[in-house]
Structure 1
Amino acid sequence: MKISKRNVDNLRSNGERYFVWDDDLSGFGVQVGINGSKTFICRYRNRGTRRQIKLGRYGALTPEEARLAAKKVLGSVALGTDPALDREADRRALRLCELVDVYLKLHGPKLKPRTFKDYRRSMDRHVLPRLGKLLAEDITTRDISKIHVGMAESPYQANRVLSCLSSLFNWGIINGYLSEGSNPARRVKRFREKGRQRYLSSEEITHLGQALIKAETTGIPWTISADSETAKHVPKSNQVFVYPKHVTNAIRLLLLTGCRLREILDLKWKEVDLERGLLFLSDSKTGQKTVILNRSAIAILDDMERAGTYVIPGNDPDHPRHDLKKPWDQIRAVARIEDVRLHDLRHTHASIGAAAGFGLPIVGRLLGHTSAATTQRYAHIADDPARRASDAIGAILQSALLAEEGPRSPKGFSKI
């Protein structure tokens, strides 16, 4: 048949592996696996020996891209080389550090810049120092498990590193750099991650507001450890740090909008529409996103100075601030909420909306959730019929418990 997108889409598994060959280009075909996977292949003869080379999975390659790759393979054969043998030699010689470089070079442009940076950092810090010089094909599940277990004190980070490795090996298999079934990260069991839900109480929100005002006006005291070997100064009694208002306002906006940290730090003034009360985020975790601003958030943005491209500028006004770690650590200490993360401000925003009875679909829309299941974490807070029923039953029982001693009529319970 003619190998085209429509025809390849129509191929289905029949319970066993089979091949479909192209009408126009001899040797170019599609291998359909038992599970329905589709892999482009090129088959040829070299010195009387039939050889077959995998070009890549359908999806990673389009039929047109695979056809061009097949023509290159057949052209190489015509010139006297054997691509299958060359690829096997390259595969045997490919070290993990080289596979990482190829992966980030070819697959990196498809990743978001922050994801790319996280992948690169995970490999450089935790994987390549121990396994970088080993041949990629020789790395075992045991090697990966040692790295994973060695990060047991940081289970979340350990699981992220494992996910990066699994993605790396899967990509290597799909694109022909590794043999089938050679993903050693696949069988490593991940650490159990406990879901964390921390919401600020009304009193804690008040303390946070007071700490923010202090940080931008009189300043927050700071000290230097005189006993530290790296201490260069002796602490003075009048040491305080006053934070710029755009830093404290960034924290306020995280709470008032429910946005993620990078959504606020990467926010550009051209994405702010105060007249309609909207933020038009060109890129977020879930892609393009529109954020509805409440009046408090609008007032903060309207009062802020537009010093450059970004709402929360860094040292260079045309580049965003890198993070809020240092100011947040000091501000939350003053507010006596040291266990609260910046992301918990987003949870607090959502929990207040759920408790106010706006409904989970509305809360999910405000947060930009693409899946209703993501918003279900706030279901126990929502003012739903079950909660109202529980409150009604509790009121009747509490009334009975506080009633004076003496003959009682069971009528109060008959209403339940």
Structure 2
Amino acid sequence: MAGSRLYRLLRLTHSCLHGAYMAKIGKRTVDASDKGPKPYFVWDDDLKGFGLLVLPSGVKSYVYQYRTAGGASRRITIGKHGKLTAEQARAMAEAHSNAVFNGRDPAGEKKDRRHAAKVNDLLDAYVESETFKSKAEKTRKTDTGRIDRHLRPLLGNLAVPTLRPNDISKAFVSIRDGKTAKREKIGFRKLSRVTGGEGAARKSIRLLRAIFEWAISEQLATANPAALVKVGSDGQRKTILDDADAYGRLFKALDVMEGEKRVRQPVADAVRLIALTGARRGEVTGMQWKHVDLQLGLVTLPPASHKTGRKTGEDRIIGLPTVAQAIIARQQKGKPDHFVFRPAKGVGPVALNKPWHSIRAEAKLPVGIGLHGLRHSLASHMAMQGAQASAIMTALGHRNLATSQKYIHWAQEARQAIAETAASVALAGMAASTEKNTGDVVPMKGGAK
């Protein structure tokens, strides 16, 4: 029976100049469908709409044909024979059939995906947006690096509507494992080293999450696939200057290095001001004379000049202790728009990263502490001395009270540890006293009966 059916199929294949015929599409049917002078179809006699297209070149492709809910005829190519087996193509055709039954249009959806905006298009739109341009120059530079060196290579060619959390999770792993790491020339005798790592991966995906939130507000996307991707936390920055001795080593190192001309006075003074006020590095290096009022002992930074201001729209007011006022007063005076701490050359803000490494080594400070660690140090010692979260929030310019509250929790834990250490001395004495007063128990004669 099967042999006679195959024989009829062979005769039909060779004699068919155009049109189509019915047969059970399987391996034997596909193999027996020879090329002809014109294209023709073999339609499956079991699954309606499932077919095999045979071209004069001999190329064979699986297709699925259907009508939309509106009555329009559609045909979608499933794939070429060779890349797909007849069984795999049938399974995909059944999936299309189910989609059509549920009112969907597989061919229309495929066309939409093909013409949909790519992630690269979304990234381009974001970089040109006012939201991006309103960020600080340094932040824009950092974000551009993460976009161009991590997000574009891994996700740029994917369509925005079809981007899934799993795609983003894979990108996170690739960045974390260094698959986007490279060196590139960025100028004369200048190399950029893209290292990747877990921190870079977290920050890149968080940036993508923020970009999609912006895109939704601009009606460029309908969902944020990055919102469901877990990237972990940065952890707590617990490396601080522990005590007055550590601060003493820092200030002595600054005095010595400044006296020996190993660091410039504006650099040393900028570090001193960060340590004394807990201001962010960018707030100090970007400080202009128009922001300073030495009579009131205040620095007032407009919203565009500090981190939280771009979100809250509020000024950041930094109180200046007397020593900090003196540090600012001895800087070279300039016009209102001039920086308080000037670089040796050029007109930009003073650079602190490179000299800080030398200062930290000279002062024998912990290797893990950065300039931001001076900010954490001030907040931690305020908490240890009993300051409330609201006071820390005001001093450091935090946007959320919860951020300041973390220092209170840290201080409580630290105070408990200190109390345990202090009590250990008393406990040792208590134990010694107990041993001294404990002797052999001798029964008394003539005891009570």
TM-score range, shorter chain: 0.5 to 0.7
Q: Match for residue 280 of structure 1?
A: 300
Deviation at 1:101, TM superposition (A): 1.3
User: Are 1:310 and 1:317, in contact at CA under 8 Å, matched by a contact in 2?
Assistant: no
Deviation at 1:304, TM superposition (A): 1.9
Q: Match for residue 3 of structure 1?
A: none
Q: Match for residue 131 of structure 2?
A: 108
Q: Distance in 2 between matches of 1:206 and 1:165?
A: 43
> Helix, strand or coil for the counterpart of 1:186?
helix
Q: Deviations over 1:266-314 (max 9, x none)?
A: 1111111111111111132222111111111112112222256001223
Q: Match for residue 264 of structure 2?
A: 244
Q: CA RMSD in A?
A: 3.3
Deviation at 1:350, TM superposition (A): 1.5
Q: Distance in 2 between matches of 1:391 and 1:334?
A: 31
> Helix, strand or coil for the counterpart of 2:226?
coil
TM-score between the two structures when normalised by the length of structure 1: 0.62
1:152 aligns with 2:176: yes
Q: Structure 1 residues 261 and 121 mapped into 2: Cα distance closer, same or farther (>3 Å)?
A: same
User: Are 1:123 and 1:161, in contact at CA under 8 Å, matched by a contact in 2?
Assistant: yes
> Helix, strand or coil for the counterpart of 1:378?
helix
Q: Match for residue 312 of structure 1?
A: 341
User: Are 2:331 and 2:341, in contact at CA under 8 Å, matched by a contact in 1?
Assistant: no
Deviation at 1:259, TM superposition (A): 0.4
User: Are 1:258 and 1:347, in contact at CA under 8 Å, matched by a contact in 2?
Assistant: yes
Q: Distance in 2 between matches of 1:349 and 1:137?
A: 47
User: Are 2:155 and 2:171, in contact at CA under 8 Å, matched by a contact in 1?
Assistant: no
Q: Match for residue 132 of structure 1?
A: 156
Q: Distance in 1 between matches of 2:164 and 2:389?
A: 45
Q: Structure 1 residues 209 and 99 mapped into 2: Cα distance closer, same or farther (>3 Å)?
A: same
User: Are 2:127 and 2:133, in contact at CA under 8 Å, matched by a contact in 1?
Assistant: no
Q: Distance in 1 between matches of 2:266 and 2:369?
A: 21
Q: Distance in 2 between matches of 1:385 and 1:99?
A: 50
Alignment of 1:153-172 (within 5 A): 154-172=197-215
Q: Structure 1 residues 174 and 357 mapped into 2: Cα distance closer, same or farther (>3 Å)?
A: closer
User: Are 2:113 and 2:161, in contact at CA under 8 Å, matched by a contact in 1?
Assistant: no
From 116, 120, 123, give the equivalent of 2:147.
123
Identity of aligned residues (%): 31
From 356, 364, 372, give the equivalent of 2:385.
356
Q: Match for residue 80 of structure 1?
A: none
> Helix, strand or coil for the counterpart of 1:280?
strand
Deviation at 1:213, TM superposition (A): 1.8
Q: Distance in 1 between matches of 2:301 and 2:382?
A: 22
Partner letter of residue 206 of structure 1?
A: G
User: Are 1:356 and 1:382, in contact at CA under 8 Å, matched by a contact in 2?
Assistant: no
> Helix, strand or coil for the counterpart of 2:227?
coil
Deviation at 1:118, TM superposition (A): 3.2
Extract unaligned runs of 5+ from structure 1: 1-48, 50-84, 220-241, 409-416
1:211 aligns with 2:234: no
1:96 aligns with 2:137: no
Q: Deviations over 1:153-187 (max 9, x none)?
A: 63232111112212223433443334x34x43233
Partner letter of residue 161 of structure 2?
A: E
Q: Flag the structure with larger Rg.
A: 2
Partner letter of residue 209 of structure 1?
A: F
Deviation at 1:368, TM superposition (A): 1.8
Q: Structure 1 residues 392 and 203 mapped into 2: Cα distance closer, same or farther (>3 Å)?
A: closer
Q: Distance in 2 between matches of 1:145 and 1:388?
A: 42
Partner letter of residue 154 of structure 2?
A: R
Q: Structure 1 residues 143 and 332 mapped into 2: Cα distance closer, same or farther (>3 Å)?
A: same
Partner letter of residue 258 of structure 1?
A: G
Q: Structure 1 residues 249 and 101 mapped into 2: Cα distance closer, same or farther (>3 Å)?
A: same
Deviation at 1:344, TM superposition (A): 0.6
Deviation at 1:123, TM superposition (A): 0.5
User: Are 2:289 and 2:334, in contact at CA under 8 Å, matched by a contact in 1?
Assistant: no
Alignment of 1:199-348 (within 5 A): 199-201=240-242, 202-219=244-261, 242-282=262-302, 283-287=305-309, 288-307=315-334, 309-315=338-344, 318-321=347-350, 323-337=351-365, 338-348=367-377
Q: Distance in 2 between matches of 1:396 and 1:388?
A: 13
User: Are 1:92 and 1:137, in contact at CA under 8 Å, matched by a contact in 2?
Assistant: no
